[in-house]
Amino acid sequence: MKFSWPIRVYYEDTDSGGVVYYANYLKFFERARSEFLRRFNIEQDILITEHDVIFAVRQVSVDYHKPAVFNDELSVTSEVIELNKASLVFRQVIHREKDETLLCHAVCKVACLSASKMKPRPIPDEIVQHLAGK
């Protein structure tokens, strides 16, 4: 399943080069992953407090093709391309809405941790089932 989330570019996201600052795309990617989970009614604050589960990024790789600029409306897609026992891999792509230009894409490996011990733990079954599209 590919999930798309709209994001507006505000001044806070840009830099004096006139484009979105390169680190800020990682914020956009995370917002989109959070909304991807929310779509399955997975609320990350409840994951922590009730299920002792927190997700942590282990690896991220970003290709910057074209820059986003102030006031752009973007769409960020999220897709699980690998689902392991205690980790998963997202592919995420950002397009500019108005002309569908590809701006950047990322591959992001996320580990499932015990929130109390900060050690790897299996992804809860319910989440696995959602992510596997079952």
- The letter for the amino acid at 98 is K
**Out of 4, 27, 75, 122, which residue is the one contacting a copy of itself (CB under 8 A)?**
27
Among 13, 15, 99, 125, the active-site one is 15
> Least distance from C-beta 134 to a copy of itself, angstroms?
26
Cα(67)–Cα(53) distance, integer angstroms: 35
**Out of 1, 6, 22, 86, which residue is the one contacting a copy of itself (CB under 8 A)?**
22
- The site for a copy of itself, by CB under 8 A, has a size of 36
Assess 75 for contact with a copy of itself (CB under 8 A).
Answer: no
Cα(8)–Cα(75) distance, integer angstroms: 9
DSSP assignment, residue 123? P
Q: Is 63 a catalytic residue?
A: no
Assess 81 for contact with a copy of itself (CB under 8 A).
Answer: no
* Token duo for residue 80: 């699980």
Question: How many CA atoms are closer than 13 Å to the CA of 8, on its beta-carbon side?
Answer: 3
Tell me, residue by residue from 28 to 67, as one string, x for binding to a copy of itself by CB under 8 A and - for no binding.
--xx--x--------xxx--------x-xxxxxxxxx--x
**Helix or strand holding residue 88 (H, E):** strand 87-96
> Least distance from C-beta 46 to a copy of itself, angstroms?
8
Distance of CA 71 to the CA centre of its chain: 21
Cα(4)–Cα(40) distance, integer angstroms: 14
Site of interaction with a copy of itself (CB under 8 A): 8, 10-12, 14-19, 21-24, 26-27, 30-31, 34, 43-45, 54, 56-64, 67, 69-71
